[in-house]
Chains A and B, each alone.
Chain A
Amino acid sequence: MAAVRTSSEVALNRIAIVAVLVATLVFLAPIYWIASTAFKPKELAVSVPPTVLFEPEVTPFVRLFTKRVQMQKTVDPQVYEAAPWWEKRIYDGGERVLKVGKDVQLSQYPDRFMNSLIVAVISTVLAVGMGTFTAYGFSRFKIAGEADLLFFILSTRMLPPVVVAIPMFLMYRAVGLNDSHIGLIILYVAFNLSFSVWLMKGFMDEIPKEYEEAALVDGYTRMQAFFKIVLPEAATGIAATAVFCFITAWNEYAFALIMTNRRAQTAPPFIPSQIGSGLPDWTTIAAGTFLFLLPVAIFTFLLRNHLLRGVTFGAIRK
């Protein structure tokens, strides 16, 4: 059903469309830049003026995943011929891939990427899970000092995290939590929990109490009602909260830089550390960043239906 619109409304609508297009271009530009640099030949990465059309190659990704050293002399043509295609790309750049016996030595990138995944996924699950239960409690039960408690929970977000980084580092070192997955997970859960509780409380408040009351009368315990009725109804909120918590944990830089250096280091502090000495290898860094962007994009894409509100609403008459 089309509503009647005046010509000025039509004009406004067109202006809005243009504004949205411009905003979209502005937001997508850095992503395009990272993606295109990740597939560029090394020498085109910093060319002035920037190269827009080029033959894409995957060599930056090969460099990203391998340990290499600069070669003093040119490679033996026989060795070159025997090498697989990706190793030839490295020889072409005047480098060779480090090996132990016949096994290619991988760079630290896969490990760091894995660390990021472990820390982000586990901390998101914990933060959203605990936040959901806490929010349900606040939403459904009379709690003494409820407003104060909620404010207290929120107040943990009032300091910029960097302010507490040094004390946290000292405490973590004292109890041996620095450079550990668990340490980072605890930190991210603590940081995300306040956000998760507040967001989930909003969603919980919107789920009518009558749903659970109907389930209680129908012979279910409150716990069963929570899992069978409240959780499915809260799916939208849980998905939205999870996306936000995941993005925060995935992108976190400051604490990861200070708290980890080897075993538990995540990708954000690792990628810039690869700039190294001499000429920075921008294409390899871009390749690392490009891969790093994918999980959040995939996660958000998978949950996109839940992020659209109103899918399951409308079965209660008020």
Chain B
Amino acid sequence: MTQIELRGIEKFFGAVQVIHNLNLAIADNEFIVLLGQSGCGKTTTLRAIAGLETVDKGDILIDGKAVQHLKAADRDIAMVFQSFSLYPHMTVFENIAFPLRATRLSSGEVDKSVREIARVLRIADLLDKKPSALSGGDMQRVAIGRALVRRPKAMLMDEPIGALDAKLREEMRAEIKRLHVKQGSTTIYVTHDQIEAMSLADRIVIMHEGFIQQVGTPDEVYSHPANLFVAQFVGSPVMNIAEASVADEAGAATVTVGGTPKGFEFPRELLAKLNGHAANGGLTVGIRPEGVLVRRDAAPGYMPVEAHIIEPLGSFDIVDLQVGSKMLRARTKAGYVSGPGEKVHARIDPEQAHFFDTASGKSLGVRL
């Protein structure tokens, strides 16, 4: 049972504030992912929880106890580093046993614990090897084993699979998930990879320039991004963003982007919903590529557009469509649009449209 709570954390590096009034409560057994670009403060936050970095203001509570003044060794937390940090002069066994040697465990118990965790991680046959003889994936398993072996209160992971190649990363991602489900421990995981975040997290914390942008389940941050930053950071391919104007035309609402003579048709209820949420700084519409619907022949509600660059991605294509002065990216079946210059018809799926205040970037919370 481990809950972690961050209250009003502030951190400066010299004159630069890298964490701004950060508040976060992490439940027992929860898998939290801190997601953001490099320099957003996510790793600093993690290191502050571990005790490798001091905080200038605020409290870090582990099970209700303030620990911000405790040394790393006294917080009973384990950490996996991006570089794995396996001690090169020790065997795999000694590496995993190292945290236990700091306790008063008998050598028989140490041996038992190490072999048990090695079995779970499927590295039992590597125990006598030196880290330099291991593959990247095995190094990472050893690093996780070293973190898990003394059953810490919580597990911190700093881009643990960022140094692996793509295929191995996918494998290890699944393995980390499997371990978490099996072993169950409060985990805080730092990454810049939104796919890792989506696939692993119970809740994602999206950070940008030292501020938390949004905290939510993967589905929440994907379906209801709180602002333009989250909207564009989560999801691949990236969401289309365009300044838009809304008009009331003959019983239907129209949303115009790129200054086209006619707008995309939306249900009339949009007008009422938008009126309730004044976009003082102008209106921006966000639409993921799968929300841009494409047809070869004309149909009611569809607008004639011209295709530009086509990126074939195997199971689907990403097609750039010229809509007025804007380029909207649409996701189509593979080969559906034959080539650049082809005339097709497109519309925006109203149910997949997001509306933001242009100036503040905040979501208006309007969904159809």
Contacts and interface: CB of A to CB of B under 8 A. Distances in A.
Interface string B86-97: 111100000000
A113 to B, nearest CB: 36
B102 A210 contact: no
B85 A216 contact: no
A245 B96 CA distance: 37
A313 interface: yes
Interface stretch (B72-80, B114-122, B244-252, B289-297): B72-80
A213 interface: yes
B146 interface: yes
Interface string A79-109: 0000000000000000000000000000000
Contacts of B302: none
Nearest to B136: A317
Chain A contact-residue range equals 20 to 34
Contacts, number: 85
A219 interface: yes
B98 interface: yes
A313 B132 CA distance: 8
A229 B85 CA distance: 11
Contacts of B229: none
B85 A312 contact: no
A32 interface: no
A211 to B, nearest CB: 5
Interface in A204-239: 208, 210-211, 213-221, 224, 229, 232-233, 235
A217 B72 contact: yes
A314 interface: yes
A218 B87 contact: no
A218 B78 contact: yes
B328 interface: no
A208 to B, nearest CB: 6
B51 interface: yes
B292 to A, nearest CB: 40
Nearest to A219: B102
Given A213-B52, A213-B85, A315-B86, A219 B132 contact: no
Nearest to A225: B73
Contacts of A214: 79, 81, 85, 87, 146
A233 B150 CA distance: 24
A316 interface: yes
A313 B72 contact: no
A316 B98 contact: no
A318 B50 CA distance: 21
A218 B139 contact: no
A217 B46 CA distance: 12
A145 B96 CA distance: 39
A182 B99 CA distance: 43
B78 A314 contact: no
Contacts of A218: 73, 78, 98-99, 102, 146, 150
Nearest to A220: B102
A208 B89 contact: no
B307 to A, nearest CB: 42
A210 B85 contact: yes
B163 interface: yes
9 nearest CB pairs, A to B: A219-B102, A315-B88, A218-B99, A315-B131, A210-B85, A214-B85, A317-B163, A216-B72, A232-B89
10 contacts: A213-B50, A214-B146, A216-B51, A216-B73, A217-B78, A219-B102, A219-B150, A221-B71, A221-B73, A312-B132
Interface of B: 50-52, 71-73, 76-79, 81-89, 98-99, 102-103, 130-132, 136, 139, 146, 150, 156, 163
Interface of A: 208, 210-211, 213-221, 224, 229, 232-233, 235, 312-318
